[in-house]
Amino acid sequence: MSQSVRAEASVGGSRKPPRLQAITILGAPVEAGAGVAGCAMGPAMLRTAGMVGTLADLGHDVVDLGDVVPGDLGEAEPPEGKTRHPAVISAWARALARETHAVLSEGRLPVVLGGDHSLAMGSVSGVARYAADAGRKLFVLWLDAHSDYNTPLTSPSGNMHGMPAAMLSGEPGFDFLFGGEKRESIDPGRLSLFGIRSIDADERRLLRARGIDVIDMRMLDEHGFAVSIRRIIDRVKAADGLLHVSLDVDFLDPTIAPGVGTAVPGGATYREAHLVMELLYESGLSPSLDLVELNPFLDERGKSALLLVDLTASLFGRQVY
């Protein structure tokens, strides 16, 4: 028996081909929610790094619809509190909600390339609407250094990339985003904030009051990434739920992913991040996906973009052996 065959047998048998998916790529070059310019270049950089070709090489049916075009800014009444560029974020949220809902309704999985994390106000809203239409419970895995649970009344900066988790969970102060359009919130009990290591005081108060699942880096250091992600997977499966993954570059340690404007030391390592994606793939849940906050202006020779492409490949079935 050759060395390679022995190695393959030792890990439990022959290699299984990936489950083939119908994937639709949507670009969302929005940076109005961020405090540092550059995120608008994120979708183009992820395409340059080979996102479409990498997924297609795995055998998936990949369609790139290009960048979403937000609608008219309108004249929504500005919310009470502190928000920057609310009309722009509202236009993006409405457009992305329509697009992700349409993609899922066609039997395909949306992969949204950002853009700052405010885009999740739209992308996840569309997924939540689809889940409600299907009579399924939506779970959201938020891979991020920050909890993103500020509201216009609590945000110190008014940057709306720090608010999407709160908005999606139904916190007050966000009615201006969708106006009279139909939208769905997510149950705060089905939101998991994973890899967190930076939370504002008012966010901490709201998170505790809502009973949101916060898996911070201390917990991951203590219990391990595999145990923690499997617990989330088990919850989704037990409810026969749908899963959406929203991955912020700052979930990763800045030594391996420097291309982000909100870097926080002590993030996930290369192997920890891949393990999360590999376990999600092996779960069979087939989540929809956001990739957000990539700032090519701050990156090092495409290092962060290439890693995001590799992580997406792991989520969709690329195997080492």
Which residue bears the tokens 């938020």?
Answer: 142
Estimate the share of the chain in helix, then strand, then coil, as percent rounded to the nearest 5: 45, 15, 40
Hey, what amino acid is at 91? Answer: A
Beta bridge partners of 193: 142, 214
Instruction: Say which residues have a Cβ less than 8 Å from residue 183's Cβ, sequence separation at least 6.
Output: 97, 125, 128, 129, 177
DSSP state for residue 252 in the 8-state scheme: B
DSSP string, 152-199: TTT-SS--GGGSHHHHHTT-SS-GGGTTTS------GGGEEEEEE-B-
User: Do 38 and 78 meet the contact criterion of CB atoms below 8 Å apart?
Assistant: no
Q: Which residues are catalytic?
A: 117, 144, 146, 148, 161, 248, 250, 293
User: Do 321 and 62 meet the contact criterion of CB atoms below 8 Å apart?
Assistant: no
Burial of residue 238, with CB atoms counted within 10 A of its CB: 0-12 exposed, 13-18 middle, 19 or more buried = exposed
Distance (Å, whole) CA 134 – CA 125: 14
